[in-house]
């Protein structure tokens, strides 16, 4: 796991590019504190820089940027490939001898002999890399199938700049910060900035599963897909839904293979354990495949409705892991919050970034690699919105008078009051944060809009009206062609989650939070073979009897008694509503002041300040709306 940055320039002879590239890499030291490397072409047409977090082959044989044995290709690479041993068979057939045992060296030599189009589809892992072809004066940028590893790029005055993080562009003289004001509207809706956009007009994210190519002559980027999930879905053949035992067995085998591959490292490895389905299954299979106790880590909250630490402790005891836990207070969270824009580079408002950072920080004191359960909710319909969608057709087909009756029932209590009820009567039939979920349902009933995904995931339903300037860019959540090959609404949600929320929110959160403390996090459930398997499941098995992650639960039952994990989903949230009224009140008040609104002139203040006053009086719970604005202004304070 590393940080990469580089410059591919049509302007020959600019030796100062070397200094710029070195500064770029130095700004990524947190991603790779073990070693720094720099390589440049003699005419300075290409400069590659690298920061290394040593995981495999800790010797100098794994150092980067790495030059192929023929001297034709140079690679600057971030990530891990987990099927290196199988790939070595290609080396044997070509009579190649490697200097070390790093995955970097293996794929570099294979790229040269067999080409990217042949080798990239064979890779199992997470990766973002730049490959420079010295003979043809051409560079390739590539990002893994699911977008686990980040890769930014932009072209300025005949120079291609790329990097693992956006902050690197600040060290390029030709870079000008031109704010993408339209995308701020998207941020208010989602809490993140959707790919391929960034907060700046002239910088893009390379989208998951894409390969970018640019040569010196034309200097025009060409982007193509090497993995396309919609196309895979179009070609799928669904198995017999009666073969449940066979499907459960197949998933169990895939998970065991994926997890055991990701346990391979030359440094200590542990696991995040929340006590939920996904992290429990990862920890259970890790422990099964380990000769000694694995280290597990969990975060707890003193607010009972957000606390899963005691569930994690029960699972850890059953699995007999070496368990570590940290109970988070608002004061500890407040210490990290000012640093959020430093590590995320763009406005980012998933509040679970706080516990994710703190659990990463705790784990980094004991291990250098941690496995996480991320991806299970997207692949196996774990979010509550899938249950809502499953019942939506029935609800929307009810007579209007009955829908109005349901709305009146919901309005009998505020969001806070319904949430209190869910705390008092917490059980499998009453989900946590009931008020938030009921009011989302009310939104759908009121709008009567078939595009319920956008309604369910939006913090601001009409973000444009809050902008001083700008208009929302309508991406996949507004327009897609999924209807041409998917008839099931649940599967449309799943595909939207996998293509938008997963890479731009969940995986961004995990990457930035963990790399901020030099911890490599691996996500075995997002092995592309498991992703593709999840799309071969009949819809009746994906959400069986309205039970989320049904097939994952069946696998977990092989390792842990069902009674230990049979409970409502909690998620990885934090008690923002109370924190914003108490410990974080002064910090938030400053960022919502007339002075800050005027200083950056991004948003209209009146409606947002009204939300803040209503939140303080507990009249309404505007925590998500307010947090999005706070993260935007906090980012502006740091970067503008």
- The catalytic residue positions are 2
Contact 247, 241 (CB under 8 A): no
Contact 49, 65 (CB under 8 A): yes
CA-to-CA dists, residue 85 to 103, 123, 248, angstroms: 9, 11, 27
Q: Which of 219, 213, 221, 223 is nearest to 158 (CA)?
A: 219
DSSP label of 415: H
Instruction: Provide the 10 A C-beta neighbour count for residue 466.
Output: 21
Q: Which residues contact 457 (CB under 8 A, 6 or more apart)?
A: 189, 190, 385, 477, 501
For 181, phi and psi rounded to 5 degrees? Answer: -70, -25
CA distance 327 to 639: 31
CA distance 126 to 121: 12
Sign of the C-alpha dihedral computed for residues 617, 354, 597 and 478 taken in this order: negative
Give the strand pairing for 369-371 and 520-522.
parallel
Instruction: Tokens 């068979």: give the residue.
Output: 89
CA distance 544 to 553: 11
Tokens of 311: 């569930």
Q: Which of 166, 133, 128, 131 is nearest to 147 (CA)?
A: 128
Q: What is the 3-state secondary structure (H, E, C) of 509-545?
A: HHHHHHHCCCCEEECHHHCHHHHHHHCCCCHHHHCEC
């Amino acid at each position: 796991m590393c940080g990469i940055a580089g410059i591919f320039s049509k302007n020959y002879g600019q030796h100062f590019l070397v200094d710029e590239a070195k500064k770029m890499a130095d700004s990524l030291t947190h991603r790779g504190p073990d070693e720094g490397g720099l390589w440049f072409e003699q005419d300075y047409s290409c400069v590659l820089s690298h920061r290394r977090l040593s995981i495999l082959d800790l010797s100098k044989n794994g150092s980067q940027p790495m030059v192929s044995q023929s001297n034709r290709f140079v690679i600057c690479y971030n990530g891990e490939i987990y099927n290196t041993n199988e790939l070595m068979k290609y080396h044997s057939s070509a009579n190649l001898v490697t200097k070390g045992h790093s995955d970097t060296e293996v794929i570099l030599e294979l790229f040269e002999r067999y080409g990217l189009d042949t080798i990239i589809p064979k890779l199992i892992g997470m990766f973002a890399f730049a490959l420079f072809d010295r003979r043809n004066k051409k560079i390739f940028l590539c990002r893994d199938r699911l977008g686990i590893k980040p890769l930014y790029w932009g072209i300025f005055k005949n120079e291609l700049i790329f990097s693992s993080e956006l902050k690197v562009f600040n060290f390029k003289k030709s870079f000008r910060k031109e704010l993408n004001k339209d995308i701020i509207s998207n941020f208010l809706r989602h809490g993140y900035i959707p790919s391929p956009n960034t907060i700046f007009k002239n910088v893009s994210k390379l989208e998951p599963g894409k390969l970018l190519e640019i040569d010196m002559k034309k200097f025009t980027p060409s982007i193509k897909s090497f993995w396309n999930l919609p196309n895979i879905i179009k070609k799928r053949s669904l198995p017999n839904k009666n073969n449940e035992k066979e499907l459960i067995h197949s998933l169990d085998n895939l998970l065991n293979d994926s997890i055991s591959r990701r346990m391979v490292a030359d440094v200590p490895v542990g696991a995040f354990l929340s006590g939920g389905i996904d992290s429990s299954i990862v920890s259970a299979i890790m422990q099964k495949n380990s000769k000694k106790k694995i280290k597990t880590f969990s975060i707890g909250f003193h607010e009972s409705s957000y606390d899963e630490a005691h569930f994690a402790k029960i699972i850890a005891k059953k699995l007999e892991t070496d368990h570590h836990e940290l109970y988070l207070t608002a004061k500890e969270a407040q210490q990290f919050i000012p640093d959020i824009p430093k590590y995320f580079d763009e406005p980012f408002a998933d509040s679970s970034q706080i516990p994710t950072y703190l659990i990463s920080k705790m784990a980094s004191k004991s291990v250098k690699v941690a496995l996480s359960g991320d991806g299970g909710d997207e692949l196996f319909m774990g979010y509550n919105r899938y249950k809502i969608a499953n019942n939506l057709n029935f609800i929307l087909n009810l007579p209007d008078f009955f829908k109005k009756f349901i709305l009146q029932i919901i309005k009998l209590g505020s969001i806070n009051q319904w949430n209190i009820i869910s705390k008092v009567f917490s059980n499998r039939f009453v989900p946590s944060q009931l008020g938030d979920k009921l009011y989302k349902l009310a939104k759908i009933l009121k709008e009567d809009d078939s595009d319920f995904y956008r309604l369910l995931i939006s913090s601001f339903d009409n973000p444009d009206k809050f902008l001083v300037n700008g208009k929302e860019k309508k991406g996949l959540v507004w327009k897609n062609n999924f209807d041409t090959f998917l008839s099931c609404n649940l599967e449309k949600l799943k595909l939207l989650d996998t293509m938008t929320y997963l890479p731009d929110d969940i995986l961004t959160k995990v990457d930035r939070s963990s790399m901020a403390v030099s911890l490599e996090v691996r996500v075995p459930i997002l092995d592309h073979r498991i992703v593709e398997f999840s799309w071969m499941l009949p819809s009746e098995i994906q959400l069986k009897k309205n039970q989320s992650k049904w097939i994952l639960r069946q696998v977990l039952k092989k390792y842990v008694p069902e009674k230990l994990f049979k409970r409502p989903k909690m998620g990885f949230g934090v008690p923002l509503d109370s924190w914003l009224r108490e410990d974080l009140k002064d910090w938030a008040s400053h960022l919502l002041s007339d002075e800050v609104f005027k200083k950056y002139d991004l948003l209209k203040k009146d409606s947002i300040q009204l939300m803040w006053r209503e939140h303080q009086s507990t009249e309404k719970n505007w925590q998500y709306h307010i947090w999005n604005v706070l993260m935007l202004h906090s980012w502006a304070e740091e970067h503008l």
